[in-house]
A and B are shown apart, each in its own frame.
Chain A
Amino acid sequence: MPANPSTENTLAQEKPSSSADVPIELQLYAIQQKIQPRAVHGVFANWRIALVLLTQALYYGLPWLQWDNRQAVLFDLAARKFYIFDLVFWPQDFIYLTGLLILAALALFLFTAVAGRLWCGYACPQTVYTEIFMWVEEWLEGDHLARKKLDKSSWTAGKLRKRGLKHAVWLAIALWTGFTFVGYFSPIHTLAADTIHAHLGPWETFWILFYGFATWGNAGFMREQVCKYMCPYSRFQSVMFDSDTLTVTYDRSIGEPRGSRSKKTDYAAAGLGTCVDCSVCVQVCPTGIDIRDGLQYECIGCAACIDGCDQIMDKMGYPRGLIRYTTENVVKGRYPDSGILKKIIRPRTVIYSVLMLAISGAFVYSLATRVPLRVDVVRDRASLSKETDEGMIENVYRLQLINKDAHPHRYTIQAQGIPGLQVVLPSQKITAAPLQTIDIPVSLVADPVELKGRSIAVSFTIQSIDDPRIKDDVATRFFNR
C-alpha cells in the first residue's frame, strides 16, 4: 500500500524568488520527523510495562546467577563451551541452537497468525528499550507537549541541563545494557571487578561501548526508523496475516462519519459515528501513523491507540472498542467479535502448533537422553594396515574422546565387526577429567582368516565404567592387507 509522503516532508524550501515557474526541488531522501508520542495508560500499556519489567529482569539478572560454582548462563567463546544451568554445550551440539531458532521462528509465525505483531508491540528489544528511554524522557523533560516545545526552543542553559541529564541517564542505561550483554560471554563477576579497576581487555571495552552505543542510538534516536526501514521481521510478519488474524483495527462501520460534537449530542441522530476526531490515536502512536487509514506496514501492533481511544470513549460515555483487536472478517461483517475465538483454530495455526509441538518434543527428548560423551575416530593414514610378527592384521586408529560431563569418568573400549577382533590400548586405564578431550591411540588386531574383503565395517563402543548409560558408538573401516 502506498504511504502518503507529506508534502512538507519531501519538499525543500522554495527559492526566495516567488515566481511560479521556478522548479521546486524534490528531496529523494526524507528528513526524519521527530515523533513525540503522548503517554498512554490502559490495559495494553500495562501489559507492555509488565513485559518490559519481565524481560529486563531476566536480561539484566540472569548473568549474575551462580550455579554449581560457576555462572549459570555463560557462553564461553574462547573455550567453546556454552553453559546453560546444568547443561554444557559444545560446538558439536550446534544442532540444538538450530532447533531453538526453528522453534523461535515457528512461535513468531504462530503468534503473528493469531494476533499480529505481538512480538513487535510488547517484547522486541527495540520496543522495550524505546519504552524505557521514553519513561526517562517523560520523567526529565515532561509530557509530549513539553518535549515538543523543548525541541523547538533555542539552546538555553535550562535546555542544556535537561538534555544533558537525559543523555546521562540514557547513556548509563545503555552502558549497563552493553556491560550485561558482554557479561553473557565473559564471566560477569570478573568483568565487574575489571570495570571498576579499569582493567578491561580491549575487546571487552570495545563490545561494551559498541552495544552501549547501539542501545543509546536505537532506543534514543532511531526508534520507529528501525521498524520501518531496518527490520526484516516487520516486513515478513505482515505476510503471515490472514483475514482471521487479530490486528489493531479502527472499526469504520461504527466510527464513521467522524466529527467533533458535544457530549450531550445524540450523535446517531446527527448522522455521526462514534469517532469524535480527537486525534488521540495519532498522538499516542510511536510510529506516527493514523490507524484510521487502515492497516499499515508501519503499525507495530503496540495497541497504544486502543488504550487512548478507550479513554476517550469512556469520557464520552460511548462503548469501548472503536479501535480494538479484531479481524478483517469481523470488520467485513462475516462473523461477530464473539466468533473470533473459534477462528483461532484454523489450518494455519494448527500446522504451526503441530510443528512446534513435534520439534519441542524432539528437542526435549534429545536433551533428556543426551549422553555427555562424544567420540570421533581418526584412522592412521600413513599405513592402512600392517602384519604383526604373529601374522595378524593390525589397523591403528586415534580415538578423540570428549568427556562432556561435569564428573571424571573411566571408560572401556570395545570393538565389533570381525570375529575375534582384539582391541589393543596403550593403557587399560582410560580416564578423562570433567570437560576434557583426550586422544587415545588404539589398534585393532584381526586374524586374516576372518577378513572377508579389502575393507570391513567395524565399530568402537566406548562406555563409562561408573555410569553404563554414558556410551557412544563410532563406526569406521578396517583394512585388510
Chain B
Amino acid sequence: MSDFTSDFWPIYISVLTLLSIIGTWMFLRKQTTRKLAPGEKPELIEHTWDDDLQDLNNPLPRWWLGLFYGTMVFAGVYLLLWPGLGNYAGLLGWTSKGEYEAEVKAAETRFQPVYAGFMQQDIPTVAADADARAIGKNLFLTYCSQCHGSNAEGARGFPNLTDHDWLYGGDPDTIVATITSGRGGMMPAMGGALGEDGTREVANYVLSLSGRKHDAALATAGQARFAENCAACHMPDGTGMQALGAPNLTDKVWLYGGSEAAIIETIAKGRNGVMPPMTQTLGTTSNQQAKLHLLSAYVYGLSQKQ
C-alpha cells in the first residue's frame, strides 16, 4: 500500500504538516493584537516619516481573520477524512484506485442495456442495424483507424477492409477470431533459395497470374519454380490459402505493392505482417465482449454493403 521507502518519511511528513498548521495558528493569534507603547496613538501604527507621512491603522475586518482560521479548520477536517498524513488512510477510506473502479462500474451499468440487445443478435443482423453501425464506427475510429485508415481502406502493409478480399476469411467467426487473437502473416525470404534470376522469373509468373503485363519467357521459366517453392502456401493455382493467411495472387489486390520491383522485393526479402490481438485494448470490463461483437459486425458490414 505505502509508497514510502522507509518508515521515517510518513512520520516526517505528518509532523511537518501538523507543525505548519499549528505554527500558522499561533502566528496569527500573535498578530491579532499589539500592545501600544506608552504615549503611542492608537490610530497610528509606526512612526512618522518625512515630517508628515503617517501610517494609519486601517484594519481589516475581524471576519477576515476568521477566514484564515477557517482554512486551518478545513485542513484539519480534510486530513482527518482523506489520506494526507503519511500512511494514515483517512476516515472515508478514499483511494484513487477505488474511484477508478467506481467509475468503471458506473460506465458498465450505463452501457450494459445498450449492448444487451445487440448481444442477442448474430453479427450479420447487427451489421445491418444503423445504431450498431454508428457505435461500431466509433469503435473502429478509436481502435483500428490508426493502421487501417479512417475509411478502412488500409495502406501499404495494412489490408483494405472494404474490398471482398480477405487474407484469413471474411465470415463473422473469422473476423472475431482475427480481432481477438491477432494475426501474424509471415512470408519467408526466398531470395537465397531462388537466386536473383529465379526471383525475377517467379515475379513475372506472379504478374501473369492476375493477367498483368509481364515477360512471357520469364513467366514460363518461373512457373516451375513457383510450383516448387511457393505453391505449398499460395496453392498451385496461386489462389492462396486462408488458413495460413497466404494471399490470393490471382486478384489485383496487392498488400505491399504490385509493381515488378515491389513483388521482387517481397519474394526476395519476405514479409512479416502483424495484426495485434485487440481484446486487452478493447478494455477489461464486462463490456469488452460487447465491444468486440459490435466492432466485428462493423468490419463485417464494411464489405457487405457494396
Partner of A389, one of B42, B59, B149, B254: B254
A397 touching B60 in the complex, CB below 8 Å, given contacts A23-B37, A26-B34, A389-B258: no
Which residues of chain A have C-beta atoms less than 8 A from B151's C-beta? 396, 424, 426, 441-443
Contact B33 A439 (CB under 8 A): no
Partner of A381, one of B37, B146, B254: B146
Check: B64 CB closer than 8 A to any chain A CB.
Answer: yes
Check: A468 CB closer than 8 A to any chain B CB.
Answer: no
Partner of B64, one of A3, A11, A29, A382: A29
Q: Which of A19-34 contact B (CB under 8 A)?
A: 21, 23-32
Q: In the complex, how many angstroms separate the beta carbon of B176 from the nearest chain A beta carbon?
A: 23
Q: What is the interface size of chain B, counting residues whose CB is below 8 A from a CB of the partner?
A: 39
Q: Which of B209-255 contact A (CB under 8 A)?
A: 252, 254
Partner of A26, one of B33, B61, B63, B252: B33
Check: B45 CB closer than 8 A to any chain A CB.
Answer: yes
Q: Which of B94-148 contact A (CB under 8 A)?
A: 137-138, 141, 145-147
Check: A279 CB closer than 8 A to any chain B CB.
Answer: no
Chain A interface main SS type? mixed
A 273-301 to B, binary, CB cutoff 8 A, 1 in contact else 0: 00000000000000000000000000000
Contact A386 B156 (CB under 8 A): yes
Contact A23 B43 (CB under 8 A): no
Which residues of chain B have C-beta atoms less than 8 A from A11's C-beta? 42
Which residues of chain A have C-beta atoms less than 8 A from B33's C-beta? 12, 25-28
Kindly state the separation between the CA atoms of A32 and B37 in the bound complex, as whole angstroms. Answer: 25
Contact A5 B58 (CB under 8 A): yes
B 9-45 to A, binary, CB cutoff 8 A, 1 in contact else 0: 0000000000000000000000111111110001101
Kindly state the separation between the CA atoms of A386 and B155 in the bound complex, as whole angstroms. Answer: 6
Check: A189 CB closer than 8 A to any chain B CB.
Answer: no
Kindly state the separation between the CA atoms of A61 and B197 in the bound complex, as whole angstroms. Answer: 88
Kindly state the separation between the CA atoms of A26 and B58 in the bound complex, as whole angstroms. Answer: 12
A382 touching B155 in the complex, CB below 8 Å, given contacts A26-B45, A27-B33: yes
Q: In the complex, how many angstroms separate the beta carbon of B194 from the nearest chain A beta carbon?
A: 26
Contact A28 B258 (CB under 8 A): no
Check: B73 CB closer than 8 A to any chain A CB.
Answer: no
Q: What is the interface size of chain A, counting residues whose CB is below 8 A from a CB of the partner?
A: 39
Which residues of chain B have C-beta atoms less than 8 A from A397's C-beta? 150
Kindly state the separation between the CA atoms of A224 and B222 in the bound complex, as whole angstroms. Answer: 98
Check: B152 CB closer than 8 A to any chain A CB.
Answer: yes
Q: Which of A368-396 contact B (CB under 8 A)?
A: 380-383, 386-387, 389, 396
Contact B31 A28 (CB under 8 A): yes
Which residues of chain A have C-beta atoms less than 8 A from B91's C-beta? none
A 208-235 to B, binary, CB cutoff 8 A, 1 in contact else 0: 0000000000000010010011000000
Which residues of chain A have C-beta atoms less than 8 A from B38's C-beta? 21, 23
Contact A441 B149 (CB under 8 A): yes
Check: A2 CB closer than 8 A to any chain B CB.
Answer: yes
Q: In the complex, how many angstroms separate the beta carbon of B89 from the nearest chain A beta carbon?
A: 23
Contact B141 A398 (CB under 8 A): yes
Q: With contacts A397-B150, A424-B151 known, what are 15 further pairs, Cβ within 8 A?
A: A7-B42, A24-B35, A24-B36, A26-B42, A30-B62, A31-B62, A228-B61, A382-B155, A383-B149, A383-B156, A389-B254, A441-B141, A441-B145, A441-B150, A442-B151
The 3 closest A-B pairs by CB, nearest first: A383-B155, A441-B150, A441-B151
